[in-house]
Amino acid sequence: MNAEWVNIGFIRKPHGLQGYLRVQSLSDAPDRFTDLNQINIEFQDGHRETHDIETCRPDRDTLLMKFKGIDTPEEVARLRGAYLQVPLTQAAPLPEGTFYVFEMIGSKVVSEEEEAIGVVREVISMPANDIIVVDTPAGELLVPAIQDIVLKISPEEERIVIRLIPGLIV
C-alpha cells in the first residue's frame, strides 16, 4: 500500500480556555513533535487542513498543542477526533525489522507453504503484541504479530508470510 501521509498524532479534546488541545502521540519517536512548525490535519470525513503550530509541549502521557489563529475551546472542538499527519517523506526512520502499519494494510497473507490465506485489513495495537487482522474467504482471522507466527513482512512485495499453528485458522 502506498501512503502519502503518516499519522503521528490524534486530537483528543480541547484543553483550557485559550485554544490548546490535547494530542495523543502515535509516534514511537519521542521528539517527533519538537521540530515541527506546521502540521496536516485529516478529519474523519477525509477533509484535510494545514495549520501552523504555535506551541507544543509534553503533558503527562499526552501533548498540549496550540495552533496559530485557533484561540478558543469552540474552535478546537471541531478538530476533536482528527489525525495529525506529516508527509511520508518526513516520516521518522524505523529500526530494522519494524514497519509502519500503512505498509502492511492491503498486503497478501500466505502460509510458509505459499497457501493464500487473505488480505490485511488492519493492525490492532495491544499491550503484549500487535494483532494483524486478515480478511479471509472464511471470515476474519486474528494473527498475533509474534516471531513464531509472522515469519516475514515484505512491504515492497505487499506480502506477509505466516506459520499456521493449530487453532489459528478455524
For the stretch 127-168, pLDDT in tens is: 889 999 999 999 999 999 999 999 999 988 999 999 988 877
- Give the three cell numbers for residue 144: 498475533
- On whether both 113 and 36 belong to a single domain, the answer is no
List the domain range (segments joined by +) for residue 142.
101-162
Percent above pLDDT 70 for the chain = 96
Query: In the chain, how many domains are there?
Result: 2
- On whether both 14 and 84 belong to a single domain, the answer is yes
- On whether both 134 and 153 belong to a single domain, the answer is yes
Task: Please indicate, yes or no, if residue 170 is contained in any of the structural domains.
Answer: no
- On whether both 59 and 18 belong to a single domain, the answer is yes
- On whether both 81 and 108 belong to a single domain, the answer is no
> How do 159-162 and 108-111 pair as beta strands?
parallel
Distance between CA 143 and CA 155 in Å, rounded?
A: 17
